[in-house]
Structure 1
Amino acid sequence: MSDSFSSLGQASTASPASPAIQDLSQPLASGKGWMKFVGVLFIIQGALTALSIVGIIIAWLLIWIGVLLMQSANAIERAQVSGDAAALKEALARLRTYFVIQAVMFIVSIAAIVVYIAVAGAMLGAILPHGGGWGR
């Protein structure tokens, strides 16, 4: 099975405005406004998160996510208008990075919740005599 998208990097040299690239980029290009909107929201959330001492640890990550979305939206716009394969490849690469960061953040959040529940359960077990006593 061949990868029909492996030659996208060379497609921009064949013609300045490739209809195939414009067709491929159309679904993402139709949502570029929403991508920019969510990107701006992430940047604002990161700036507000940075105002707290603990929040400064993750604020850079939120701002980075916002910038990635903005850059991806701009690249997909370039790909749609000019048929530039390199711009389409850039947009998809930035979206990939966005989803990888989001997935890692979800995994870390789930792990933190599990640790929190374990610590809370251990503390509750230590406080209550012999594992219970509410109804006795």
Structure 2
Amino acid sequence: MVSMMFSFEMNLTPYTDHLIPPLDAVDAARQAEYDAHLAERAAKEQAAGKKLRGRKPKPPAEKAPKTNPPKANTTDPESRMMPIRNGWVQGYNAQAVATESQIIIACDVTQDTGDTAQLTPMIAAANRELVSSAVNSLQ
């Protein structure tokens, strides 16, 4: 067995710009919020005639981000992060309806992480398939 490694670089920016919003706008909004908070704090100190107790707020550049930076899957943007037993996996949620003899009569793939919301649509899909195939009995 021969193993070969390939290495290449590709600029994906033109393809991913629409997936992740520009972070400059987010940074500008955080800076504006910080400036407004400082102005409000200064007005309170001016009205009270003394400094406010507690720490002064840190500028947004020194703070840790409140959330993880947005990420996008460039190969399959419609897939979602799905919880599994030992963590998370990027993928889809597949549902199937089968007879007692394990014949699949309806199936569907969704982006929803929960299975409970899929019960009613899957029962309806199974009923549609049985009616369209004119099956009277599942035995």
TM-score (normalised: structure 1): 0.23
Q: Which has the higher contact order (CA 8 A, sep 6+)?
A: 1
TM-score (normalised: structure 2): 0.23
